[in-house]
Chains A and B, each alone.
Chain A
Amino acid sequence: MNFLDFEKPIAELEGKIADLRHLSDDDGINIADEVARLQAKVEKQLKATYAKLTPWQKTQVARHPDRPHCLDYVRQLIEDFEPLAGDRTFAEDHAIVGGVGRFRGRSVMVIGQEKGHDTETRVKHNFGMAMPDGYRKARRLMRMADRFRLPVVTLVDTAGAYPGVAAEERGQAEAIARAIETCLDIRVPLVSCIIGEGGSGGAIALASANSVLMLEHSIYSVISPEGCAGILWRSGDQAQAAAEALKLTAQDLHRLKVIDEIVPEPLGGAHRSRKAAIESVGDALERHLSKLIPTEGGVLRARRRDKFIEMGRNGLE
């Protein structure tokens, strides 16, 4: 388990518990009371810490290496999954994964950024930073979903679209623009959940949806706090201040009416109880899909478009 800086006191307590357990294994001493006492303390600490995470701390939680990633959700929530590959133009981009599968009894199209969980998979998925090919693949899958009347679920988790020479050469901007356009054009329900990092254009390319959900400690922003600090504060050290100013937390975004629902995370964040976190995202997705599915396609499309054309007209109350 990886611990974040502000989780240190919790890490120490858990270390003590582990030591005690070790001791009891060795000597058969009954220290159950002591363990229970420490565990209660851990819970209290977690509750206190996670109840008042700063935007910068949330940024770290959102990027936590143990946080469940897109494919973890697919494995737990989607049955009979058929992964689909390629943009039919140039390449298969593993940063964006997708395919058809059965979600709680219904065929759906799932698309999302995958960051990877160890060195090998991180490299394979390019840390979740997609090339234009990835966005073109997403577009292809959305179009296909439209054709087969399959609801689309997107799981957003990316630091941003990949900034590189090849990406620019193949039209990163155009690929993102088209993905946004397609999100806003399809006549099937489109539900997005920001499960970790919602990084800028690379995120909205998959998240121009009927319902946009966010996990409690995820972030969604026009630019990373570090990038923003580098430009506006002329110092990357001011990332903490930038994170505050950008209003990038799920709570801020809900107040700004940019997202529709905050999905609660288990105590101590999704990385502590991955299964439970994934399940609560699944429940929220199902709820939103059930609401949208009976609606006629043209109406779904029109409502989605109306919603985005209003974006920004009603600011913070």
Chain B
Amino acid sequence: MNWLTNFVRPKIQQLVRPKEVPENLWKKCPACGQMIFHRELEKNLEVCTHCDHHMRLPVKKRLEALFDDGEYKRIELPKAPEDPLKFRDLKRYNDRIKDARHKTGEQDAIIVAHGSVGGVRAVIAAFDFSFMGGSMGVAVGEGIVAAAELAVLQDAPLIVIPASGGARMQEGILSLMQMARTTVAVDKVKDAGLPYIVLLTDPTTGGVTASFAMLGDIHVSEPGAVIGFAGARVIESTIRETLPEGFQRAEYLREHGMVDTVVHRHHLKDKLANILNLLINRGPAGQVVPFERKGVFGAGETTTAETKPAGKPEPTPAARPAPAAPAAKAQPTKAPDEEVAETAAPADEDARPIDAAPAEAPKKEPAETGEPSEPKKG
């Protein structure tokens, strides 16, 4: 504890009504050990102001930070069967679910929303790690399927943001089946010619990594995120291998060819906006080369293009309008089922610098957090 916690904290608590005050006004950075005032941390999108360590960002804050003006609409997800195996370990799965719902106010570990990112209409499916460690059961699979279908319906790119310990063991084989299920789902987006982007956050492991999370057209990751198939502890204990430095971290995955880019949280929005714009707003198509048919195989003389003067290509209908004007912001046309409107406050300007300096991973390696997440494996 530093002096601030001892002396400043009680005073601040007196100023605000207790109910509005979070438990801890000061949060200790797990990487550098420095104390950070909670408001400052929140404003900084849960990135340590001292060492740039990325802590977990609550899922709704994440969506606010990524969608234009922090505005997005959630879609209601189809109900999944509850506790299909009647699973019970030391606790009943039903009770675990109830607890998680009570704690998070959410039905399960995934939120699906749509809005625009950098002027491009996009669908985002984001995991909520605070809901049973973001583990993937049937309901989460349902979320990915719904997100993919919505993306295809809206002709919009899909961004999935996993934060998950893997498959939800309490749903047994049905959770394993979600690997195949989500794979089909994201492939539908790819089949439709739409970008499928994965934004890997800490942690992405087990069955989630070994399915849709590694199938993106582009993989973007936050610095220091743990990404892997087998858990580090499993590898250490069963195989008795010493783990290399930075093992299964985002930077390690980039070095091993599994991640395209590691981006500081402050620059993620700009990065995604740029990627989507490049993939969606491709600009005018190249000039169509006139096809001249002559000789024995041809029907006769020169055909085509005589009406069009060379050097003046017309944009084909395939080229979508350029993003430019914010007025042209695409409005979502249809969404399955009812929509739960949810408008978020605009994100803090300080937290989202406009200059898109290419963000690199901070040099400092975040310390092992070693959190005991509930679910695991895949």
Contacts and interface: CB of A to CB of B under 8 A. Distances in A.
A171 B241 contact: no
A256 B174 contact: yes
B89 interface: yes
B90 interface: yes
B235 A163 contact: yes
Nearest to A310: B181
A139 B236 CA distance: 29
Given A184-B187, A311-B141, A312-B81, A161 B229 contact: yes
B159 interface: no
B193 to A, nearest CB: 16
Contacts of A164: 230, 235, 239, 241
Q: Which of A169, A201, A305, A308 has the most CB of B within 10 A?
A: A201
B167 interface: yes
Given A177-B212, A222-B173, A245-B87, A184 B378 contact: no
Contact of B180 (A174, A208, A245, A313): A208
Interface residues of A, number: 56
A312 B80 contact: yes
A204 B177 contact: yes
B189 to A, nearest CB: 13
B201 interface: no
B213 interface: yes
B139 to A, nearest CB: 9
A125 B206 CA distance: 23
Contacts of B85: 245-247, 316
Interface stretch (A65-73, A110-118, A224-232): A224-232
A173 B89 contact: no
A228 B90 CA distance: 12
Contact of B214 (A170, A177, A313): A177
B357 interface: no
A312 B177 contact: yes
Nearest to A205: B210
Contacts of A185: 187
Chain A CB within 10 Å — which of B90, B141, B176 has the most?
A: B176
B176 A221 contact: yes
Nearest to A231: B376
Contacts of B169: 222-223, 228, 231-232, 246
A247 B173 contact: yes
B59 interface: no
B172 A242 contact: no
A201 B183 contact: no
Given A205-B210, A258-B177, 20 more contacts: A163-B230, A163-B234, A164-B241, A167-B229, A177-B211, A181-B183, A181-B187, A185-B187, A201-B206, A204-B177, A204-B179, A208-B180, A222-B172, A222-B207, A223-B167, A228-B377, A247-B85, A308-B181, A312-B141, A314-B81
6 contacts: A168-B230, A173-B229, A177-B209, A256-B84, A313-B138, A315-B174
Interface of A: 161, 163-165, 167-174, 176-178, 180-181, 183-185, 200-201, 203-205, 208, 220-223, 227-228, 231-234, 241-242, 245-248, 252-253, 256, 258, 305, 308-316
Interface of B: 80-81, 84-90, 137-138, 141-142, 145, 167, 169-181, 183-185, 187, 206-207, 209-215, 227-231, 234-235, 238-239, 241, 243-244, 247-248, 256-258, 375-378
